[in-house]
Every structure is written in C-alpha cells, then in structure tokens.
Amino acid sequence: MQLTGNLFIGAHEVAASEGTLQALAPATNELIEPPFALGGSAEVERAATLADEAFDSYSHTSLAERAAFLERIADNLDAVRQPLAARAALETGLPQAQLEGEAAKAATQFRQFAEVVRRGRFLHLAIDPEQPERQPRPRMDHRLQKMAIGPVAIFGASNFPIAYSVAGGDTASALAAGAPVILKAHNAHPGASEIMARAIRQAVRDCGLHEGVFSMLRGGGNALGEALVEHPLVKAVAFTGSERGGMALYRRAQLRPEPIPVFCEMTSVNPTFVLPHAVEERGASIGDGFIERMLVNVGQACLKPAILVAVEGDGLDALRQAMIQRLRTSPARTMLTPGIHAAYGEGLDALLSAGAQRIAEGSPAEAANDGAAALLEVDGRRFLAEPVLAGEVFGPAALLVTVRDTEEMLAVARSLRGQLSATLQLENGDLPLARRLLPILERRTGRIVVNAFSHPQEVSFASIHGGPFPASTDSRFTSVGMTAIERFLRPVCYQGFPDELLPEALRAANPLGLPRSLDGQ
C-alpha cells in the first residue's frame, strides 16, 4: 500500500510544516520509508475548526446513519487488514499474525458500537410528563436525552498499534457518541496510523458526512498535543499511556479558561493474589499461567499481570519453580521502541535497588531492542517498606511477593494504589479470606477476576477498563467496552417543548421505538 506520509485534516492531505520523521523498525534498528509529516498549532487550528463545523450536523445524524458509518469503517478496516498488520509488524516488532487479530478486533469494536447506536440505550431517554393539576404547583413536561459533548482529541497509544490507536476503541466510542475526532497519531507507528486514517476518511466520504468528522495529526515533541488540549473548540480528551504523560495533559486541561474532561488510562500492575488453598492445590499451574500471560506483547500490555502475592506454606515452592521454569524458557523479543526498551532496563534497576532479588532470567538479548524476561522476588515486609516495588515496569518482568500470613497479604492489598484490574486465585476453603479481600480490592480497581488472569479482557457491555487513580483519571468511566461511549456524552433536558420541536427520540409517539423511562418506570 502506497503511503504519502501526509497529515489528514478533514478531506485534505497536508504536507509537513514542522519537519518530518521516519519510522524505526525496532527489530533491525533501521529507519523505514517514507518520511512522515509533522504539524503544529496551525494544523491543530484547522482540524479543530473543521471538527467544530462538523459537530452540529454529525451529532444530529440519525441513529441508522451513524451506525451505518461505523459499519463502513469496519468494512474498510477489514479490507486493509493484511497490509495494515504487515506495516504495524514492521514498525513494532510484534508478530504479524497477532496484529491481524488486533485489526479484526478493531473492526469488531466498530460493529459493536454500531449496534449500541442502533439500540439507542446510550441516549438514556427519560420523560416526566406535565402534571397541570398538581398542587401546590403544576409540573411542566420534562424530557431528557444525552448528546455528544463536542469535538474530542484522542491520543493514540504505543503498545497496541491498532486496537488502541487511530482505529481503536476511543475513536469508535467517540464517533458512536456523535463526537468528531481529532486523532494525534503515535510516532512509533506512523505508517499503520496512515492506513487506518485512510479507512476512516474513506468512510466519511462514502457516507456523505462533513469532512471535519475525522482528522489525523502528528507532531514532534509535546507542542502539538498541548495545542490540542488547550484549543477552545476541543471539549474532551482521551489518552492511553504513562502516568507522567497523562497527568501533564490532565493538568493542562484543568488550567484552560474552560476546563474539560481528560480521560486517561495510565499505569497498573494488575496484582494477582493467590490464596492459601489455591496455592496448595494449584500452585504450579497458577505460576505457569501467570508468567505465560505476563509475557504477552513482550510484557508491554496495560493489563499485564506484574505482581503475584502468595502466602508462605505448602505449594509456594511449586508455584515459584513453575514461574522460574516458564520464564527461563522465554526468548528475548523485540520491544516496541528504543525508548521503551531503555525504560524497561531502568525500571528493573529500580526494583533491584529497592531490595528485590532476581530469581530467574529468560534468554539473553541478541539485538539492540530485545527485552530479556526477568522474575524478581521480595518478601511482604520489604514490599510494604519500599513503595517503588509496587510501581509498573513496562516490559517482560514480574515480581513475586511472598507474605508471612493472610494479615500481611491484606496489608499488601491495602498498600496498593488504583489498578485497572486485580485477580484472586482461590478454592472453596479460601472464601472467608476472599470476603475480607474483596472490599479492599473494590476500592482500588475497576475489575476483579477470579481464577483467571487479568489479560486478556473481553470487549462487552459489562467490561471495565479503568479504576481509581493512577490507573485512570476518572474511575467512573471505562475506556474499553460498550459503556466507553459514556465518556463523550452529556445530558440535555427539554422542558415544556411542543412535540414537533423535540428531538425525534423524545416525541410522544416514540417514532424510533427506543426504550424510554416514563416517570421513572
């Protein structure tokens, strides 16, 4: 597939105004053609203006029209699945087969959101009819629906170059809500980003929508991203990445004359608590499965199970040895970027300096950006004394925390910051302890898993990918699953309206046949 390297602002391809970059193939450490354009504040201004111009018409498209648009995007993504996966594999070092699956998942998300739009439940339609005879004061007719918050700026992620990138869940949920999208592509995979952007732009044209419904920008450094967050026509931001990067955007958004919501998915170690009966009965299989899931994506997954907590006693040595055996047989694999590779080494050094002991290593690295797996161990007392041990190390490393008893396990759980997920491995005899752990974990995570692992995660109506800070900046919302659409909606009440002036979904005859609340019923 021919790549131009241009920016996409509405229907226009725009050349560089702030220089260019070239993608790096991390497996060979070589640059890849072509050069890709970088933009700045002028391009942000053009994209934001177009998005604002598109908002009124796009946010008022019929549910059928919007659903058809989302499905057209899905069809276009399917049509480019193989070249998209091939380019993403070149730019990330991840296996092409895995990325073809990720591309299929991205298309599926757009189709899922199309169904969400058709059903119309996301509108949260509510009607409180007038009560003219009510005393001591009559009640006017009140009708409520949710609508899009406004143009949304979305920052593509590095670790999932398709499913969390240009055509990821943030874009799908924002477009489903009726919000035009300005996408800041991640510089680690610019070619894959262009292929996805073309698929979305083609759907905009095919469906006859305003060109400002979608734009894709790219910038060097932080200036373009900061300009996006600060632009007065941008009304919300979605970000997946580091705590440092996410909080910089969050603080900048709150200092605007008009503060806006910033939905950041940031950092998590996704702890696994192996309760005593589970350790005794299934220690080896739990340890093996934990390391197998930890190594997915070379440990570069936001849901990577990074910390395993187990009580000393029967079965612990079998668990430990299974972890060691699985890890020692794992090959060093290419990490996403040289910067991520360097940060991985620094993170390991920080854990070792804080008192963790390296108890196993994978095969040594053979190339510059290879990440060699590592298993570290520390006792519960040391873990509680050194907060750095609870920090995320982005890469193929895990930490085994051995605690003296169940009280120390509870203390470890209480010490943790907000998480995207937490896991309990348990048997029937562990239920009393599990009941004590649950309230602690409910306060610290958005998803609790029993007798499985934190990764992978289903994309469904009930799935949650979010949690208390620093897992995310707003634990009331999710960035994965069908309810992710809620981030980009706000309620509007129509009071005393004549029927013909109401939005179609709120009219008396319910012409769309949508579910509605009537006087709370």
Residues with a known catalytic role: 265, 302
C-alpha atoms less than 13 angstroms from C-alpha of 285 in its C-beta half-sphere: 8
Residue bearing tokens 């498209």: 61
> 456: which 2 tokens?
């992978």
Beta-carbon contacts of 430 under 8 Å, excluding residues fewer than 6 positions away, are 275, 276, 277, 278, 424
DSSP code at position 357: E
Dihedral angle, C-alpha 250, 304, 271, 167, nearest 10 °: 40
Return the amino acid letter for 395.
G
State the alpha helices, DSSP H only, in 35-140: 41-59, 63-79, 81-92, 96-119
Instruction: Name 55's bridge partners.
Output: none
DSSP code, position 173: H
Q: Is the dihedral of CA 15, 19, 22, 24 positive or negative?
A: negative
| Cβ neighbours of 26 (radius 10 Å) | 24
- Contact 47/215 with Cβ under 8 angstroms? yes
- Could you tell me the two tokens for 81? 């699945």
Helix (H) or strand (E) holding 126: strand 126-128
Residue 241 CB-density burial (10 A; 0-12 exposed, 13-18 middle, 19+ buried)? buried
Q: From CA 208, how far away is CA 152, in angstroms rounded?
A: 20
Q: Check: CB of residue 190 under 8 Å from CB of residue 21.
A: yes
* Amino acid sitting at position 36: F
Contact 430, 454 (CB under 8 A): no
421, 448 contact by CB (below 8 A): yes
3-state secondary structure 214-273: EEEECCCCCHHHHHHHHCCCCCEEEEECCHHHHHHHHHHHHCCCCCCCEEEECCCCCCEE
Residue with tokens 């996409």: 8
CA 193 to chain CA centroid, Å, is: 16
What are the helix and strand counts (H, E) for the chain? 14, 22
Burial of residue 69 (CB within 10 Å: 0-12, 13-18, 19+) is buried
